[in-house]
Amino acid sequence: MTIESVVDKKGENLFYKVPLQLYKGHKYWIRPLDKDIQSVFDIKKNPVAKDDNFMRWILRDEQQQVIGCIAAFVNPKTVNKNTDYSVGGIGFFECSDNQKAANLLFDTAKNWLQNQGIEAMEGPINFGDRDKWWGLLTKGFNQEPNYLANYHFPYYQQLFENYGFKLYFNQFTFKRDTHLKLPDVYRKSAIEILNNPDYRFEHIRKKNLDKYTDDFRIIYNNAWANHLGVSEMKPRQAKAIINSLKPVLDEKVAWFGYNKDKPIAFFIAVPEVNQVFKHVNGKLNLWGKFLFITQKLFKTNKKLLGIIFGVTPEFDGKGVTHALTYVVRKTMEEETNYRIFEMHGIGDFNPAMIKLVDKFKGSEKSKIHTTYRYLFDRNRPYERMPLKSKKTKNA
C-alpha cells in the first residue's frame, strides 16, 4: 500500500471521490455537496485554514486502486484550549474494511501532527466549527444523514478503536414528531414567561438579518465560549454562519428570546435540505437549484433539522427554555407542514440538555456521533471530556 499527499487538483479530485467508490449504491448514504467539502480546505473560505496548517492524503492498494483518505489539521483557535497538551484534528477519513490500511492512514496523520508540535489527535472532526462534519457515526446506520453530518459504515468504529482511539464524547441526534404535545409542566412554565412583559420571543425576519446575526453572536459567546474546545465567535464568523443558512432559512422556525431587549436565547432550525440534495449527486448545478427552488415553493420537505439551541447562563433554569420550545412547537403545528423534527449534536457532556429532551414524550435518540481522542504519549493518563454543570442547557 502507498500513501500520496494531496498537492494538486488531481489529488484533490481523488480525495473527494474516495467516498463515492466506497458508498456506491448504498441505501442510506447521501453524497455531500462538493462545494461544502471543498470549502473546508479553501483558505479563502475557511478562516482557520492557512497554507501550512493542514494536509490531506489518499491511500492506494497494491493494484494502485484508491482505498482510503484522511486529512490532518491544526486549528489555532482550539489547539491549546482547556488542555495541558496540544491537540490537532483528523477528519474526512474514509477507508475500506482493512485495519492495516486504516493504521497507515492514522500513522501518517499522527506523524504529520507530531512534526507540527502536536501531542494528541482528535477525530473524526471538522477543520473548523463543531456545527458540521463532527464525529464518527456509531448508531443510526439505517437512517439517512442530515445535511453536513457524517455518515459511516459500522466497521469504522473498530478501525478507530483497534488503533487505540478512545471515546472523548458522544453527540446525540434526537427525533420527534412535531405534533406531539408538550408535557403539562412545560406548558405551565412557558405561559408564565410569555405573560411576563419583561420577555418577548420573535422569529427571524430576513429583512433584519444583520440584527439577528449580532444577537446570535452575543448569545453564542455567552452560552458556549467558556466550554472546552469552543472558541469565541467573531462577527465575521457569525455573519458567515447566518449567510450560509440564509438560502434555506424558514423564518417561522428560527426564533430568538429577549429580556428587556437583551438577547438571551435562540432556537434555529432549517428544512432538512439533504432530503432535496440526495437527488442532485453532490452537484448544485442548474438541475439541483431547480429541485431546491421547487421544494421551497411547494413545501414538499416534511423534515426539520434543529441547528442550534441555547440560553445564556444568566437566564438558564428560569423557564426561558420552556417558553422558547412552546412558541416554536406551536408555530410548527399551526403554520408549517413539517412533521418530523431532528435535533443534532447534543453532547453527552451536557446531561441537563439530554434530560430536557428526554422529557419530551416521543423523543427518540436516533443517531450517535462519537468523537475520539488519541494521545501520542501512551503513558499519559487519559480523561474524556468532563461533564458540564447539570444546569447548563445548550446544544
Instruction: Give me the count of residues in the chain.
Output: 395
DSSP class of residue 379? T
Q: Where are the beta strands (DSSP E) in 96-160?
A: 120-123, 136-139
| C-alpha cell at position 88 | 490537532
What predicted TM-score, i.e. pTM, was given to this entire model? 0.82
Look at residue 249 in the predicted model and tell me its pLDDT.
86
- Rounded CA-CA distance 321/311 in Å is 7
Note the pLDDT of residue 293: 62
The pLDDT value recorded for residue 226 is: 63
3-state SS, 69-112, equals EEEEECCCCCCCCCCCCCEEEEEEEEECCCHHHHHHHHHHHHHH
Residue 25: Cβ-neighbour burial (10 angstroms; 0-12, 13-18, 19+): exposed
Q: What is the pLDDT of residue 364?
A: 85
342 three-state secondary structure = strand
What is the model's pLDDT at position 392? 45
Cβ proximity of 105 and 93 under 8 Å: yes
pLDDT at residue 49, rounded to an integer: 94
> How far is residue 379's CA from residue 123's CA, in Å, rounded to a whole number?
20
Helices 184-194 and 320-335: angle between axes, nearest 10 degrees? 100
Q: What is the pLDDT along the chain (395 residues), one digit of tens a residue?
A: 999 999 999 999 999 999 999 999 999 999 998 889 999 999 999 999 999 999 999 999 999 999 999 999 999 988 988 788 999 999 999 999 999 999 999 999 999 999 999 999 999 999 998 889 999 999 999 999 998 899 999 999 999 999 999 999 999 999 988 877 777 777 889 999 999 999 999 999 999 999 999 999 999 998 876 665 567 888 988 898 888 888 788 899 999 999 999 999 999 988 888 887 777 767 766 656 666 666 555 566 788 888 888 899 899 888 998 899 899 888 888 888 888 889 888 888 878 778 777 766 667 889 999 999 999 999 999 999 887 654 444 55
Cα–Cα dist 186/128, whole Å: 35
Q: What is the CATH number of domain 179-338?
A: 3.40.630
Q: Are 134 and 171 in contact (CB under 8 A)?
A: yes
What are the phi and psi torsion angles at 221 (to 5°)?
A: -65, -35
Q: Where are the domains of the chain?
A: 2-173, 179-338
**C-alpha cell read off for 317:** 433554569
At a CB cut-off of 8 Å and minimum separation 6, what does 149 contact?
Answer: 132, 133, 173, 344, 367, 369
**Are 2-173 and 179-338 equal in CATH topology?**
yes
Q: How many helices (H) and strands (E) does the chain have?
A: 11, 13
Q: Which residues contact 385 (CB under 8 A, 6 or more apart)?
A: 168, 169, 228, 229, 347, 349
Q: Does domain 2-173 have CATH number 3.40.50.20?
A: no
Contacts of 245 (CB under 8 A, 6+ apart): 254, 268, 270, 307
